[in-house]
Structure 1
Amino acid sequence: METSRLQRGSDFAGLSRRIAQAGLLERRPGYYAVRIGLVAGLFGGSWALFAAVGDSWWQIPVAVLLAVAFAQVTLLAHDLAHGQISRSRRRSRIAGLLVGNLAVGLSYGWWMDKHTRHHANPNHEDHDPDVSPDVLIWSHKQAEAARGLPRLIGRRQAFLFFPLLTLEGVNLKVSSFRALRRPSLKARMAEGLLLSAHVLIYLGALFLVLPPGMALVFLAVHQACYGVYLGCTFAPNHKGMPVLSAQDELDFLRRQVLTSRNVSGGRLVNVALGGLNYQIEHHLFPSMPSANLRRAQPIVRDYCRSLGVEYVECGLFASWGQALRHLHEVGRPLRR
């Protein structure tokens, strides 16, 4: 038993050596220079188009375009948080505050802490904040303990999943402001000032250019599309995969691989999901630049197969289907 455990514990070390020898952990400054330029152009161009269209219901397609821009900026903040763009924590944090707090109204410090805990224990019902039963239920154990709103929604949560995602953009902003009350949040003053500046500039632009009614419609469409985009980006990666509990003792490699799912679909899916479609590789090597994940995939996949570790990959729509079936299944006790 002890020998087997030692062999399992060394499995990731063997994979890590192969990845390092392939040079896949090296920075990609050229790639990120181009990507940051394109995302900045999309973000700035969307706001310029908003100003040019003015008082018109043609602003609705602009709201959708701006939601795509916000999501792509958020994906850049994700890469900053993992140290993929710069090795300097200070530079990454400053850029993250500007990109997250000021540009899209998402607390960089709060989200980074939450996402770090997710990476440490993905899909663990006790330790992963992404599967905590705040509104949705992710395991039968959570269903049995559910009370209040989660119990009410849990009965039909698979059908309510996408409608609830329309509120995710607003939920992230509310959670960001609530996090300012935590003494553990670093640079609370800077975070609060930048979040407040985002809200004032954002709402000021909407109500300065548009009549009140149209501004509210623009806000609703923009935030709803932003929430759905983010949900459709992150949900395929883990939802519907095994949910771990205190009884599950897995080494690092198996904990990351068995709870993650890759999404196939080519270059378009890769751009749309910001490289997170290679979720298995990303969870094994969080600091790996997203441009290298595609090259790491065959190495990781073959290595997992040699160990007999299941490596899951499917299309985008199939991944959503698996997530919805899982939500429906774990909500079954509440429908009895």
Structure 2
Amino acid sequence: MCGFGVRSTHAPAERCISKICLAADMTLSVRTSSVEGESTERITTIDDMKCNYSMVKAADSCSNTTAVGPGKHAIVNDTCDNQMNNNNYKKARTNGISNGHTMLHKRNGFSLTPTQQIDYNRYMKEHPNAKLIGIDGNWYDITNFIPYHPGGDLIEHFIGKDSTPVFKAFHGEDVLKHRKPVGQYIQCSSDPAAEAFANLHLFFINNGFFKTSLSWYLKKVMVTVLLFGLTWYLVTCHTQWYMHFLASFTIAAFWQQCGFFMHDFMHNQGFHNRKIDRWLGLFFGTTCLGVNGHWWRDEHYVHHALTNTVDYGQQFFDPQMREPIWAQNEKLFPFYSSNIEELCIRIQHITFIPICVIVGRIGIMLDGFKTERRWYEWFAFMLHWSWMSLLFSFLPTWRRVIIFYSLASIFQGILHVQLLISHYCKDFFQKENICVEKNWYRMQIECNINIKNPKWLDWFHGGLNFHIEHHLYPLMPRHKYREASIHIRKTCKDLGIHYDECGWFEAIKRTLMHLKKMSTHFKLDPR
């Protein structure tokens, strides 16, 4: 017997191939290689198992294949007369097996390589409460690390999965150098996007796409400081209402640019140093913009890792893609139940733009601080209102203060439209399928829209116009997006993946039409 309960019909001289068995579904793909160098492939159907045979050279004969039924771990543990040596294994990995490919399929089925390596089943038997995460073909025990994870409990969503592409999207190359793996597995994927975008990631690293130009950022900061200074000049040196009207526009532009800086630094795009970048993110986000920088960062990291994703069992949804007054996808419908929510969703295509623009700023400020406990966030927030109050004191009347701040909030509300139109009319996914059936790279492309605009207008969008590039490689500084988009667009074309981009007004139109369509679907939903 060679394989998972499947009798080999090939000659004894043929070699058994190392197996990766994936629990659930039903297709068994067997690839064998004969001594003459010819290769054949046959497909066998068996209940409750899906096995892909990797082309890693194994021994001449295999035995002792063990399996567990559906809903449990499926382990293949070959005992071979002549085991594959480490050189063969390293060569196989070098040839692309470990480039961020999806390996697991439902129920965490997988297999290990040589038997001298610790297998997942044995480790879990010895440590029944252990929580393992797969990265680059290695299993890491993160049980005790979770409370100290800088990204919070986001890491728990990927327990038992090959999270290589997600991990590399958020971390540098040296993060794991002090971490010892407790087991190994072979990565593989039937989706060519896995290898293509993992290799593209390496290409970007080797060609300096992740290196930040501090001179570029210095120029942007200088422009932002000029906007701030111009606002103070218009308010303090003039009493005419139209000058104060212009000042409300300049301070809105200042807030918008500070929001982009918060976004960049909270992604560690500035100095690639977590402490420095976070303090800068706190300054630009909380002190300058007035939005809780760390609260926003915590939500935004979940949004990046699990974009447009839901999990009904855990009542989980992408926190930045679900609002109580809008339902932009059928997968969000189960999260709404009240009559008020139903009424809001019926008219969501009408209220979307007005709510984003008129109450977007106030809403995000209130959301960010209603449960905040970090003293430094409150201190930075007090600094924000200190300089804002000082600015208000130069306005002649309270009426002028209210008009000034209201207009500034409305102008800055355009930023909230920018944040949402990149996702709202795109697909949603279920969390159990991410990094399992659904390759993470492909998922990111399928749930993002790019905004086409001339290069000189990039400052207005702050990098959000290249949303596909940003979601694929969030550590890449935004001044590299336009160049990176050339390579990503070509890769998508080669793979037959739709690279979705359109103009600003076209994206808004698509979003409104989609919201109207979803409101109709919501009315017809039997729940």
Secondary structure (helix, strand or coil) at the match of 1:49 reads helix
- Separation in structure 1 between the aligned mates of residue 370 and residue 514 of structure 2, nearest angstrom: 30
Partner of 1:103: 288
Contact 1:54 1:209 in 2 (8 A): yes
Name which of 203, 206, 214 aligns with 1:29.
214
Contact 1:138 1:243 in 2 (8 A): no
Q: Does 1:303 align with 2:491?
A: yes
Question: Which structure ranks higher in relative contact order (CA pairs < 8 Å, sequence separation ≥ 6)?
Answer: 1
Contact 2:266 2:281 in 1 (8 A): yes
- TM-score by length of structure 2 reads 0.59
Name which of 376, 389, 399 aligns with 1:203.
389
| Cα drift, residue 111 of structure 1 | 0.5
Partner of 1:159: 350
Return closer, same or farther for 1:164/1:176 CA change in 2, 3 Å cut-off. same
| Cα drift, residue 208 of structure 1 | 4.2
| Cα drift, residue 164 of structure 1 | 0.3
- Separation in structure 1 between the aligned mates of residue 431 and residue 498 of structure 2, nearest angstrom: 21
Query: In the TM superposition, what whole-angstrom CA distance separates every residue of 1:170-209 from its partner, at most 9, and x where no partner exists?
Result: 111111221314xxxxxx1111111122123313421442
Name which of 177, 180, 198 aligns with 2:369.
177
Instruction: Please identify the structure whose Cα radius of gyration is greater.
Output: 2
- Separation in structure 1 between the aligned mates of residue 408 and residue 487 of structure 2, nearest angstrom: 40
| Cα drift, residue 306 of structure 1 | 1.2
Secondary structure (helix, strand or coil) at the match of 2:464 reads coil
The root-mean-square deviation of aligned C-alpha atoms, in Å, is: 2.0
Contact 2:330 2:522 in 1 (8 A): no
- Separation in structure 2 between the aligned mates of residue 145 and residue 313 of structure 1, nearest angstrom: 30
Name which of 219, 224, 230 aligns with 2:410.
224
- Separation in structure 2 between the aligned mates of residue 33 and residue 204 of structure 1, nearest angstrom: 27
- Separation in structure 2 between the aligned mates of residue 141 and residue 191 of structure 1, nearest angstrom: 34
Contact 1:43 1:70 in 2 (8 A): no
Contact 2:258 2:289 in 1 (8 A): yes
Partner of 1:149: 340
Q: Does 1:238 align with 2:390?
A: no
| Cα drift, residue 122 of structure 1 | 1.1
| Cα drift, residue 71 of structure 1 | 0.5
**Structure with the higher fraction of residues in helix conformation:** 1
- Separation in structure 2 between the aligned mates of residue 235 and residue 268 of structure 1, nearest angstrom: 22
Query: In the TM superposition, what whole-angstrom CA distance separates every residue of 1:4-30 from its partner, at most 9, and x where no partner exists?
Result: 962334333122122223321112111
| Cα drift, residue 148 of structure 1 | 4.1
- Separation in structure 1 between the aligned mates of residue 378 and residue 217 of structure 2, nearest angstrom: 28
Aligned residue identity for 1:41: L
Contact 1:270 1:277 in 2 (8 A): yes
- Separation in structure 1 between the aligned mates of residue 378 and residue 407 of structure 2, nearest angstrom: 25
The list of structure 1 runs, each at least 4 consecutive aligned residues, that deviate by more than 3 angstroms after superposition, is: 1-5, 246-249, 333-336
Aligned residue identity for 2:345: G
Query: In the TM superposition, what whole-angstrom CA distance separates every residue of 1:109-129 from its partner, at most 9, and x where no partner exists?
Result: 101101111000111144311
Query: In the TM superposition, what whole-angstrom CA distance separates every residue of 1:204-238 from its partner, at most 9, and x where no partner exists?
Result: 421442301111111111112212x2123212311
Aligned residue identity for 2:371: A
Where structure 2 has 5 or more consecutive residues not aligned to the other structure, the ranges are: 1-28, 30-51, 55-100, 103-187, 311-315
Partner of 2:476: 288
- TM-score by length of structure 1 reads 0.91
